[in-house]
Structure 1
């Protein structure tokens, strides 16, 4: 906001208080504005505020409220609404006496020890799972003073556990200077990590917080599971710990969204009035996210559950993590056996294991999140978007799927459901079908198919084949379908298939004999495509394009695979969909790209049908 313009703060204040009678000194608002300008941690939001208030006062818009507590409430609502910051509070407390509690380092050692024992709880649970509850984060000076006690009774015992549940659900107080030490226990000595940047408004200074290379006690390190529990009461420095470790991908957060507190707040008296304003005077900016956990944001858990259920859920995640390494390894092994491009499979398998070793699968909390992470890593590393991991509570039918030969009663229904045909003006044939059926099914229904479909189109002068809604099906019928658009002799080489699972190379040719008439090689054929066209429909389209037998019109196809196998990962509910064949062009001898078929005429799919009649 530019200086001289009416401030949102002022407008909101006036909106709330102009209707209330009696009087007070306008200096109160000016003094409050000065405190905000000198101390509020977002000074950029206050530009022009003081000038706007003075301008309004000079113009006679004087706030008149007789009851001081009412005035404090109205000012609170106005300031909070204008700055969208619920931490700003105005109060009227004429008898308030500030009490400065003694700093922790100044307390006698006996009191410090008692405080730590009351705020820290440590247990070693079944399967060597550590449980550490800390209800107050002590600052750097206190931590140094209590170093041997913390080392012997907390950190060295924690370090011996196999995984750790770090409970911050009841942590509502603490000092920010203690955050780097806690983060350091869960990271390596080198390199040092920039974990926070804190801007202090009263001193107008910025301080960076980094991990430390030397700590008292044994580090927990970066490899073992760390699960942090939070609640809606988790506040301040504890939020900084949870937010930092989450965004370093070092910890999983389980529980409720945290309170969204402040790095530092001060209660400041407004001159001699008896009014006070509580102001956040410092703000935190995380170097990874560029954002903060403060105000309304809080720390959002990876697994959101009620606070009272967080411990049980943490145990479930730890148990699940025992499977993750074997599932990541199994994914790589399935690729090495089945994926159509062996050198890519070997590379991806190595990358997956390296990512696991680096702890990059630590953030997964269940089968669904693991499937999502594995899919993203497979596709990114291989460049093949067809690789996919999914979870399924029941065994997918595709594991045992065999084409079903229809009965005579079913044939008419199948033809009616799969095929749509029309002879358009100009003797142009239009054929749409949305699934590629298996060759055995096609042979079984061929008499009715020839009679009900093909005989009505074979004598047209031009053929439009609509593949815009065909997402695939069986590839076995591709040679049969292609054969109708070529002469009987010589047989045409359509494409070559390398099957990784059987290590066989097969040349796919047109068929020497078919039922019904051929469409021949002289009449124009147009194939319509969309971004949905995939799998066997895409292979047919690509073959017809490669052999210059059809003009393709529409959108680039999806880039699917001719054949993908579905493989269970161990005994889990995860399954891998892996392209197990590569197709080599009959013209170039090169492997078909997974990027899809580029049309000769690129148009939106919904406009493709209008293009052929216009000519080329």
Structure 2
């Protein structure tokens, strides 16, 4: 630890800036002695006596005639050097020490009256307990009033569904009472080390642990507890809030607490009417390695003290719905998720997710989504917060009318497929959707004449999917069959349908009407950010089948073959992939954007395809 002391004491001595009356350096020496014997961070005081003696013997001590000015100067010096705002020096010729009230020595009836005046208990709507405590009583007092506390407080609270623990006005108390309170919100075993307190005057260290047995029924670790704090909350109440927050046992609502101390004493500097206020004990949490002292306890949710109770009630309403939400999500995944082998691990993760500090549906969505993504490694499985929005199932493309009318079929081909012969004898084929496979088979004869016949003698083929937003996956097989050799039957892809519990393998169609383009001539597929769903599947298969080159922009990465469900009475929606699209290598494509072999902006993709072929 850094030793700030020598500069500190030289500063203290050189800060005494006046020129007349004689001021004995004994005041500074006595102040230093008090700090050495009482300050709770003695390691910061190494070298103090040597520095003071050196300054005194060197004759560098000047004088300040006004005692209050001197006290203020000394305060600034000691606070700045030790970086501790609790250290103050005061000049108080008429100071009368206040003898602290020893609660355990009071008659029992007075203790009862005091506790009743500092504790308020109520049972609110929805069986929410409300407990306001304005004084944390110590170990001896708690033991003396054990039956009263049990019958009138703890046993009544024990049967509530959740608790609002109000410490906004708790400005006094004893640290020895903290283990009693923490124990009520913990299980019997294992015991928890909740605090370590070092007392400098006695040079002793005391550990605070939860208690193996207490009077009254424990509240336990499962039911929600919200602690209210304010800038007035101080001392032992801060220790309670800080410990329960970091044990992940309570959500803190309100404003940052006062940042008090375990124990501060005002000590008279011998031979004078000056006093120095010194923190004589310090707390170190074994949970965090830090303390609530000076800095205070920061709330999980910041609101004004006036709004704290209302906010706590709304948080409890949200949190009470969490188990049902998690259960509903678990059921949906179990019924619909296409990776059935991952379902047990996902459901187990949902039940074990740490939702301690979830304070809103949006927060819940983030937590659950992170866990589901980690376990499933499937970007299609998502939970989203969709306020003011209704979730709907992924819409299936509209079925074409069941017709055999040649004129209607010809018009459908003309509106769906655009065919050109570009300079350099390059074939160009654009289609913006994949027609339903049954309709496509009816169109096959017309397609042979209007699409494949014009393209059959081109040197290479550009397939433009820049505006293709999807359609029917089964129709991929027919289109891809024209890019294979008719003499070979090739496995193209497989679809597993979780809802139907069917696995369908798709092969190249050997009996097609038109001339096949074959497997030898170059094929260039153009993509853009708008290329989505089945359009992406086509580009993905072109790469996995090693049948062509994809040129353009990374595709949209649209989630495919998924169902979106609104979680009833919430603004949460879950998207579940119910179909797995598996390529010819047995790899399941999870719907991320297809990365082209050559990335170019959309408007340049056609010319790039021609230049690529020329090269």
TM-score by length of 2: 0.75
Q: Deviations over 1:430-487 (max 9, x none)?
A: x9x9xx965359x9xxx9xx99xxx9xx9789x99999xx9x9648589499949944
Task: Label 1:147 to 1:94 Cα distance change in 2 as closer, same or farther (>3 A).
Answer: same
Does the 8 Å CA contact 2:483/2:518 hold for their aligned counterparts?
A: yes
Does the 8 Å CA contact 1:41/1:281 hold for their aligned counterparts?
A: yes
Equivalence for 2:313: 315
Equivalence for 2:388: 394
Equivalence for 1:305: 303
Equivalence for 1:231: 230
Work out which of the residue numbers 430, 434, 446 in structure 2 matches 1:439.
434
Work out which of the residue numbers 354, 359, 364 in structure 1 matches 2:358.
364
Q: Count residues with an aligned counterpart.
A: 556
Task: Label 1:402 to 1:214 Cα distance change in 2 as closer, same or farther (>3 A).
Answer: same
Q: Deviations over 1:148-179 (max 9, x none)?
A: 22122211222232222111110011111101
SS in 1 for 2:503: strand
Task: Give 1:576 deviation, angstroms.
Answer: 1.0
Task: Give 1:594 deviation, angstroms.
Answer: 9.2
Q: Deviations over 1:560-595 (max 9, x none)?
A: 9644332111231111122333233312x3545899
Distance 2:549 2:9 in 1: 68
Distance 2:289 2:533 in 1: 43
Greater alpha carbon shift after TM alignment, 157-166 vs 332-341: 157-166
Does the 8 Å CA contact 2:392/2:565 hold for their aligned counterparts?
A: no
Task: Give 1:8 deviation, angstroms.
Answer: 5.5
Does the 8 Å CA contact 1:122/1:154 hold for their aligned counterparts?
A: yes
Distance 1:536 1:111 in 2: 80
Greater alpha carbon shift after TM alignment, 311-320 vs 540-549: 540-549
Task: Label 1:43 to 1:390 Cα distance change in 2 as closer, same or farther (>3 A).
Answer: farther
| 1:379 maps onto 2:378 in alignment | no
Q: RMSD over aligned Cα, in angstroms? A: 4.8
**Max Rg structure:** 2
SS in 1 for 2:216: coil
SS in 2 for 1:439: coil
Task: Label 1:163 to 1:544 Cα distance change in 2 as closer, same or farther (>3 A).
Answer: same
Q: Deviations over 1:492-542 (max 9, x none)?
A: 433322232333324356689899996964659799999xx9987875665
Task: Label 1:2 to 1:236 Cα distance change in 2 as closer, same or farther (>3 A).
Answer: closer
Does the 8 Å CA contact 2:565/2:575 hold for their aligned counterparts?
A: yes
Task: Give 1:110 deviation, angstroms.
Answer: 2.2
Task: Give 1:254 deviation, angstroms.
Answer: 1.6
Equivalence for 2:404: none
Does the 8 Å CA contact 2:390/2:566 hold for their aligned counterparts?
A: no
Equivalence for 1:249: 248
Task: Label 1:591 to 1:19 Cα distance change in 2 as closer, same or farther (>3 A).
Answer: same
Task: Label 1:517 to 1:590 Cα distance change in 2 as closer, same or farther (>3 A).
Answer: closer
Greater alpha carbon shift after TM alignment, 106-115 vs 65-74: 65-74
Task: Label 1:53 to 1:464 Cα distance change in 2 as closer, same or farther (>3 A).
Answer: farther
Does the 8 Å CA contact 2:118/2:134 hold for their aligned counterparts?
A: yes
Equivalence for 2:584: 586
| 1:288 maps onto 2:283 in alignment | no
Does the 8 Å CA contact 2:559/2:592 hold for their aligned counterparts?
A: no
SS in 1 for 2:97: coil
Equivalence for 2:328: 330
SS in 1 for 2:344: helix
Distance 2:392 2:52 in 1: 71
Task: Label 1:322 to 1:516 Cα distance change in 2 as closer, same or farther (>3 A).
Answer: farther
Does the 8 Å CA contact 1:475/1:563 hold for their aligned counterparts?
A: no
Equivalence for 1:211: 210
The correspondence of residues 248-287 of structure 1 with structure 2, limited to 5 A, is: 248-287=247-286
Task: Label 1:524 to 1:228 Cα distance change in 2 as closer, same or farther (>3 A).
Answer: same
Distance 1:63 1:559 in 2: 77
Distance 1:270 1:159 in 2: 50
Distance 1:569 1:96 in 2: 66
Distance 2:223 2:391 in 1: 38
SS in 2 for 1:572: coil
Note the residue ranges of structure 2 that are not aligned, 5 or more in a row.
400-421, 441-446, 599-607
Note the residue ranges of structure 1 that are not aligned, 5 or more in a row.
406-422, 602-608
Task: Label 1:28 to 1:507 Cα distance change in 2 as closer, same or farther (>3 A).
Answer: farther
Does the 8 Å CA contact 1:368/1:391 hold for their aligned counterparts?
A: yes
Equivalence for 1:79: 78
Task: Label 1:503 to 1:484 Cα distance change in 2 as closer, same or farther (>3 A).
Answer: closer
Does the 8 Å CA contact 2:394/2:562 hold for their aligned counterparts?
A: no
The correspondence of residues 10-409 of structure 1 with structure 2, limited to 5 A, is: 10=9, 17=15, 24-52=23-51, 54-55=53-54, 61-62=60-61, 64-296=63-295, 298-353=296-351, 360-384=354-378, 386-396=380-390, 399=393
Q: Deviations over 1:233-271 (max 9, x none)?
A: 111111111111122222222222211211222222333
Distance 1:20 1:539 in 2: 87
Task: Give 1:291 deviation, angstroms.
Answer: 2.2
